[in-house]
Chains A and B, each alone.
Chain A
Amino acid sequence: MAELGASDAHTASLRTFPVRHPAAVFGRIMLPHAFVSSRFSPMNIFKYSSPQSFYPLAGKLVPWLAGIAAILAVAGLYLSFFVAPTDAQQGEVYRIIFIHVPAAWMSMVIYLAMAFWSAVGLAVGTRLSFYMSQALAPTGALFCFLALWTGALWGRPTWGTYWAWDARMTSQLLLLFLYFGHIALTNAIEDTRRADKAGAIIALVGAINVPIIYFSVKWWNTLHQGSSINMTKSSMATTMLIGMLIMALAAWAYSIAITLVRVRSIILERERRTDWAAAEIRLQGASA
Chain B
Amino acid sequence: MIWDSFSAFIDMGGRGAFVWGSYGVTLLLIVVELWALSRRRKDTLRRLLRLQQLDKDDQQQ
| A interface list, Cβ under 8 A from B | 81-82, 85-86, 91-93, 95-96, 99-100, 103, 138-139, 142, 145-146, 149-150, 153-154, 156-157, 254, 258, 261-262, 264-265, 268-269, 272, 278, 281-282, 284-286, 288
Contacts and interface: CB of A to CB of B under 8 A. Distances in A.
Contact of A93 (B3, B18, B30, B42): B18
A149 B23 CA distance: 10
A278 B26 CA distance: 37
A154 B15 CA distance: 10
Interface string B43-58: 0111011011000000
A286 B23 CA distance: 38
Nearest to B45: A288
Interface residues of B, number: 30
Query: For the complex, would chain B's binding face be called helix, strand, loop or mixed by DSSP majority?
Result: helix
B19 A288 contact: no
Interface of B: 1-3, 9, 12-15, 18-19, 21-23, 25-26, 29-30, 33-34, 37, 40-42, 44-46, 48-49, 51-52
A154 B22 contact: yes
Contact of A264 (B19, B33, B41): B41
